[in-house]
Amino acid sequence: MATAQAGMVAELIDGAELVVIESSGAPTDDKSRWTRSLDEALLDGSVDMTIHSAKDVPAERPDGIVTAAVPLREDPRDSICGALTLDGLAAGAKVGTASPRRTALLGAFCEQATAVELRGNVDTRLRKLDEGTVDAAILAAAGLNRLGIGDRGNPMDPTVFTPAPGQGCLLLETLASNSHALELASAVNHENSALALEAERALVIELGADCHTALGALAIVSENTITLEAICLAPDGSTWIRDRISGSTSDPAQLGRNLAKSLRVAGADELLGASRGEIA
Protein backbone atom coordinates (compact mmCIF):
# COMPACT_ATOMS: atom_id res chain seq x y z
CA MET A 1 0.00 0.00 0.00
CA ALA A 2 2.68 2.52 1.03
CA THR A 3 4.70 1.85 -2.13
CA ALA A 4 1.63 2.06 -4.35
CA GLN A 5 0.45 5.40 -2.98
CA ALA A 6 3.96 6.85 -2.97
CA GLY A 7 4.38 5.83 -6.60
CA MET A 8 1.14 7.57 -7.53
CA VAL A 9 2.43 10.84 -6.10
CA ALA A 10 5.97 10.47 -7.44
CA GLU A 11 4.58 10.21 -10.99
CA LEU A 12 3.07 13.68 -10.57
CA ILE A 13 6.32 15.37 -9.53
CA ASP A 14 8.65 16.35 -12.34
CA GLY A 15 11.88 14.34 -12.27
CA ALA A 16 11.01 12.46 -9.07
CA GLU A 17 12.65 9.11 -8.35
CA LEU A 18 10.92 6.74 -5.95
CA VAL A 19 13.11 5.38 -3.14
CA VAL A 20 11.59 2.59 -1.05
CA ILE A 21 12.57 2.67 2.64
CA GLU A 22 11.43 -0.08 4.97
CA SER A 23 9.68 0.97 8.17
CA SER A 24 11.65 0.12 11.30
CA GLY A 25 8.54 -1.53 12.72
CA ALA A 26 10.03 -1.22 16.20
CA PRO A 27 7.29 -1.31 18.86
CA THR A 28 6.55 2.08 20.40
CA ASP A 29 3.67 3.71 22.23
CA ASP A 30 2.96 6.10 19.37
CA LYS A 31 2.87 6.35 15.58
CA SER A 32 6.58 7.08 15.21
CA ARG A 33 7.34 3.47 14.28
CA TRP A 34 5.74 4.20 10.89
CA THR A 35 7.69 7.41 10.24
CA ARG A 36 11.04 7.04 12.02
CA SER A 37 13.01 5.48 9.15
CA LEU A 38 11.67 8.02 6.65
CA ASP A 39 12.41 10.90 9.02
CA GLU A 40 16.00 9.70 9.41
CA ALA A 41 16.42 9.48 5.63
CA LEU A 42 15.11 13.01 5.24
CA LEU A 43 17.31 14.44 7.96
CA ASP A 44 20.49 12.76 6.72
CA GLY A 45 19.88 13.87 3.12
CA SER A 46 19.23 10.42 1.66
CA VAL A 47 15.92 11.65 0.22
CA ASP A 48 14.44 15.07 -0.53
CA MET A 49 10.81 14.27 0.24
CA THR A 50 8.84 11.62 2.10
CA ILE A 51 5.25 10.47 1.57
CA HIS A 52 3.05 9.28 4.43
CA SER A 53 -0.53 8.32 5.08
CA ALA A 54 -1.48 11.41 7.06
CA LYS A 55 -3.40 9.50 9.72
CA ASP A 56 -0.21 7.61 10.62
CA VAL A 57 1.95 10.71 11.13
CA PRO A 58 2.57 11.70 14.78
CA ALA A 59 1.36 15.13 15.84
CA GLU A 60 4.83 16.22 16.89
CA ARG A 61 7.40 16.25 14.08
CA PRO A 62 11.21 16.41 14.29
CA ASP A 63 12.78 19.86 14.13
CA GLY A 64 13.38 20.95 10.56
CA ILE A 65 10.77 18.72 8.94
CA VAL A 66 7.78 20.56 7.47
CA THR A 67 4.73 19.80 5.37
CA ALA A 68 5.54 20.18 1.68
CA ALA A 69 2.15 19.32 0.17
CA VAL A 70 -1.15 17.48 0.63
CA PRO A 71 -2.42 15.97 -2.64
CA LEU A 72 -6.12 15.64 -3.44
CA ARG A 73 -7.76 13.65 -0.66
CA GLU A 74 -9.16 10.22 -1.43
CA ASP A 75 -12.47 9.07 0.05
CA PRO A 76 -12.00 9.63 3.83
CA ARG A 77 -14.74 7.21 4.89
CA ASP A 78 -14.47 3.78 6.47
CA SER A 79 -15.85 0.89 4.42
CA ILE A 80 -17.46 -2.27 5.70
CA CYS A 81 -16.38 -5.39 3.83
CA GLY A 82 -18.50 -8.53 3.90
CA ALA A 83 -21.78 -6.72 4.53
CA LEU A 84 -23.82 -3.96 2.92
CA THR A 85 -24.29 -1.97 6.14
CA LEU A 86 -23.65 -2.22 9.85
CA ASP A 87 -27.39 -2.54 10.45
CA GLY A 88 -27.43 -5.60 8.22
CA LEU A 89 -25.07 -7.56 10.47
CA ALA A 90 -26.59 -10.48 12.32
CA ALA A 91 -26.59 -10.68 16.10
CA GLY A 92 -23.21 -11.88 17.32
CA ALA A 93 -21.43 -11.06 14.06
CA LYS A 94 -17.66 -10.79 14.39
CA VAL A 95 -16.27 -7.62 12.84
CA GLY A 96 -12.51 -7.42 12.32
CA THR A 97 -10.50 -4.31 13.12
CA ALA A 98 -7.31 -3.33 14.91
CA SER A 99 -8.40 0.26 15.50
CA PRO A 100 -9.48 1.54 18.94
CA ARG A 101 -11.65 4.13 17.18
CA ARG A 102 -13.46 1.56 15.03
CA THR A 103 -13.86 -0.76 18.01
CA ALA A 104 -15.45 2.03 20.05
CA LEU A 105 -17.71 3.11 17.18
CA LEU A 106 -18.91 -0.48 16.79
CA GLY A 107 -19.72 -0.56 20.50
CA ALA A 108 -21.62 2.70 20.22
CA PHE A 109 -23.56 2.18 16.99
CA CYS A 110 -23.62 -1.56 16.27
CA GLU A 111 -24.41 -3.29 19.53
CA GLN A 112 -25.38 -6.57 17.85
CA ALA A 113 -21.81 -7.09 16.57
CA THR A 114 -18.56 -7.90 18.35
CA ALA A 115 -15.24 -6.33 17.41
CA VAL A 116 -12.39 -8.83 17.09
CA GLU A 117 -8.74 -8.05 16.43
CA LEU A 118 -7.80 -8.24 12.77
CA ARG A 119 -4.27 -7.20 11.76
CA GLY A 120 -2.12 -7.32 8.65
CA ASN A 121 -2.11 -5.52 5.34
CA VAL A 122 -5.25 -5.08 3.24
CA ASP A 123 -4.76 -8.37 1.36
CA THR A 124 -4.27 -10.29 4.60
CA ARG A 125 -7.37 -8.82 6.21
CA LEU A 126 -9.53 -9.53 3.16
CA ARG A 127 -8.17 -13.07 2.95
CA LYS A 128 -9.13 -13.69 6.58
CA LEU A 129 -12.58 -12.30 5.83
CA ASP A 130 -12.93 -14.62 2.83
CA GLU A 131 -11.79 -17.57 4.95
CA GLY A 132 -14.50 -16.85 7.51
CA THR A 133 -12.23 -15.76 10.35
CA VAL A 134 -14.56 -12.78 10.71
CA ASP A 135 -18.04 -12.05 9.36
CA ALA A 136 -17.10 -8.54 8.26
CA ALA A 137 -14.13 -6.21 8.35
CA ILE A 138 -13.76 -2.45 8.44
CA LEU A 139 -11.08 -0.87 6.26
CA ALA A 140 -10.36 2.60 4.93
CA ALA A 141 -12.16 3.28 1.66
CA ALA A 142 -9.09 5.20 0.49
CA GLY A 143 -6.85 2.15 0.81
CA LEU A 144 -9.27 -0.06 -1.08
CA ASN A 145 -9.63 2.54 -3.83
CA ARG A 146 -5.88 3.05 -4.22
CA LEU A 147 -5.44 -0.70 -4.64
CA GLY A 148 -8.20 -0.79 -7.25
CA ILE A 149 -10.53 -2.91 -5.12
CA GLY A 150 -12.95 -0.29 -3.85
CA ASP A 151 -15.85 -2.59 -4.75
CA ARG A 152 -14.84 -4.93 -1.90
CA GLY A 153 -16.26 -2.46 0.61
CA ASN A 154 -19.30 -0.29 1.20
CA PRO A 155 -18.53 3.21 2.52
CA MET A 156 -20.27 4.14 5.77
CA ASP A 157 -21.93 7.39 6.82
CA PRO A 158 -19.13 9.60 8.22
CA THR A 159 -21.58 11.54 10.39
CA VAL A 160 -22.12 8.28 12.31
CA PHE A 161 -18.98 6.21 11.73
CA THR A 162 -16.58 9.15 11.82
CA PRO A 163 -13.20 8.42 10.19
CA ALA A 164 -9.76 8.90 11.70
CA PRO A 165 -8.28 12.39 11.49
CA GLY A 166 -6.34 12.61 8.25
CA GLN A 167 -7.83 9.45 6.75
CA GLY A 168 -7.67 9.52 2.95
CA CYS A 169 -4.94 12.20 2.96
CA LEU A 170 -1.35 11.76 1.90
CA LEU A 171 1.23 14.03 3.50
CA LEU A 172 4.43 15.04 1.73
CA GLU A 173 7.22 16.28 3.98
CA THR A 174 10.63 17.81 3.38
CA LEU A 175 13.20 19.91 5.21
CA ALA A 176 12.32 23.56 5.78
CA SER A 177 15.68 24.42 4.20
CA ASN A 178 14.99 22.49 0.97
CA SER A 179 13.44 25.22 -1.17
CA HIS A 180 13.70 23.14 -4.35
CA ALA A 181 11.67 20.27 -2.85
CA LEU A 182 9.10 22.71 -1.52
CA GLU A 183 8.71 24.21 -4.99
CA LEU A 184 8.34 20.82 -6.67
CA ALA A 185 5.82 19.62 -4.10
CA SER A 186 3.63 22.68 -4.58
CA ALA A 187 2.60 21.29 -7.97
CA VAL A 188 0.69 18.43 -6.31
CA ASN A 189 -0.77 20.36 -3.38
CA HIS A 190 -4.58 20.46 -3.17
CA GLU A 191 -5.58 23.50 -1.17
CA ASN A 192 -8.89 22.26 0.25
CA SER A 193 -7.37 18.90 1.24
CA ALA A 194 -4.51 20.72 2.98
CA LEU A 195 -6.93 23.01 4.82
CA ALA A 196 -9.02 20.06 6.02
CA LEU A 197 -5.96 18.15 7.20
CA GLU A 198 -4.61 21.18 9.06
CA ALA A 199 -7.87 21.55 10.99
CA GLU A 200 -8.01 17.85 11.86
CA ARG A 201 -4.38 17.67 12.97
CA ALA A 202 -4.76 20.79 15.11
CA LEU A 203 -7.67 19.08 16.88
CA VAL A 204 -5.53 16.00 17.52
CA ILE A 205 -2.64 18.06 18.87
CA GLU A 206 -4.85 20.14 21.15
CA LEU A 207 -6.50 17.03 22.61
CA GLY A 208 -3.23 15.11 22.91
CA ALA A 209 -4.80 12.20 21.05
CA ASP A 210 -2.71 9.30 19.75
CA CYS A 211 -3.02 5.87 18.16
CA HIS A 212 -4.52 4.45 21.37
CA THR A 213 -7.39 6.93 21.63
CA ALA A 214 -10.87 6.57 20.18
CA LEU A 215 -11.15 9.83 18.27
CA GLY A 216 -12.79 10.46 14.92
CA ALA A 217 -12.72 13.72 12.99
CA LEU A 218 -13.56 14.96 9.53
CA ALA A 219 -13.30 18.44 8.04
CA ILE A 220 -15.27 19.43 4.93
CA VAL A 221 -14.24 22.53 2.99
CA SER A 222 -16.86 24.37 0.94
CA GLU A 223 -15.96 27.68 -0.67
CA ASN A 224 -14.51 29.76 2.19
CA THR A 225 -15.90 27.68 5.06
CA ILE A 226 -14.59 24.65 6.95
CA THR A 227 -17.01 22.43 8.85
CA LEU A 228 -15.20 20.18 11.31
CA GLU A 229 -16.96 17.37 13.16
CA ALA A 230 -15.39 15.13 15.79
CA ILE A 231 -16.34 12.35 18.17
CA CYS A 232 -14.53 11.12 21.30
CA LEU A 233 -15.52 7.75 22.70
CA ALA A 234 -14.92 5.51 25.67
CA PRO A 235 -12.98 2.38 24.60
CA ASP A 236 -16.13 0.26 24.54
CA GLY A 237 -18.32 2.95 22.98
CA SER A 238 -20.60 3.09 26.00
CA THR A 239 -20.10 6.86 26.29
CA TRP A 240 -19.32 9.33 23.56
CA ILE A 241 -19.25 13.05 22.80
CA ARG A 242 -19.82 14.49 19.34
CA ASP A 243 -19.52 18.15 18.36
CA ARG A 244 -19.26 20.26 15.22
CA ILE A 245 -17.90 23.70 14.39
CA SER A 246 -17.78 25.85 11.27
CA GLY A 247 -15.53 28.76 10.45
CA SER A 248 -13.45 30.56 7.89
CA THR A 249 -10.73 28.84 5.89
CA SER A 250 -8.40 31.65 6.97
CA ASP A 251 -7.27 29.79 10.12
CA PRO A 252 -8.04 26.04 10.01
CA ALA A 253 -5.69 25.28 12.91
CA GLN A 254 -7.55 27.64 15.22
CA LEU A 255 -10.81 26.02 14.21
CA GLY A 256 -9.42 22.64 15.22
CA ARG A 257 -8.20 24.00 18.54
CA ASN A 258 -11.56 25.62 19.24
CA LEU A 259 -13.44 22.36 18.66
CA ALA A 260 -10.96 20.52 20.87
CA LYS A 261 -11.59 22.98 23.68
CA SER A 262 -15.35 22.51 23.31
CA LEU A 263 -14.96 18.73 23.44
CA ARG A 264 -12.71 19.04 26.48
CA VAL A 265 -15.35 21.04 28.35
CA ALA A 266 -17.80 18.23 27.61
CA GLY A 267 -15.47 15.57 29.05
CA ALA A 268 -13.20 14.50 26.19
CA ASP A 269 -10.11 14.28 28.42
CA GLU A 270 -11.74 11.60 30.56
CA LEU A 271 -12.80 9.53 27.53
CA LEU A 272 -9.44 9.74 25.80
CA GLY A 273 -7.66 9.07 29.08
CA ALA A 274 -9.70 5.88 29.46
CA SER A 275 -8.54 4.82 25.99
CA ARG A 276 -4.94 5.14 27.18
CA GLY A 277 -5.69 3.25 30.37
CA GLU A 278 -5.11 6.35 32.49
CA ILE A 279 -8.62 6.38 33.93
CA ALA A 280 -10.45 3.31 35.17
Catalytic residues, by residue number, are 55-56, 101-102, 119, 125, 211
Q: What are phi and psi of 197, to 5 degrees?
A: -65, -40
Q: Are 53 and 170 in contact (CB under 8 A)?
A: yes
Cβ atoms 52, 174 nearer than 8 A:
no
The candidate with the shortest Cα–Cα distance to 241, out of 216, 266, 205, 277, is: 266
Continuous segment of H or E residues that includes residue 122: helix 122-130
Concatenate the DSSP letters of all residues of 216-261 into one string.
EEEEEEETTEEEEEEEEE-TTSSSEEEEEEEEETT-HHHHHHHHHH
In the sheet with 78-81, reading across from the earlier edge strand, the strands are 113-117, 93-97, 136-140, 78-81, 153-155
Residue 186 half-sphere exposure toward CB, CA atoms < 13 A: 6
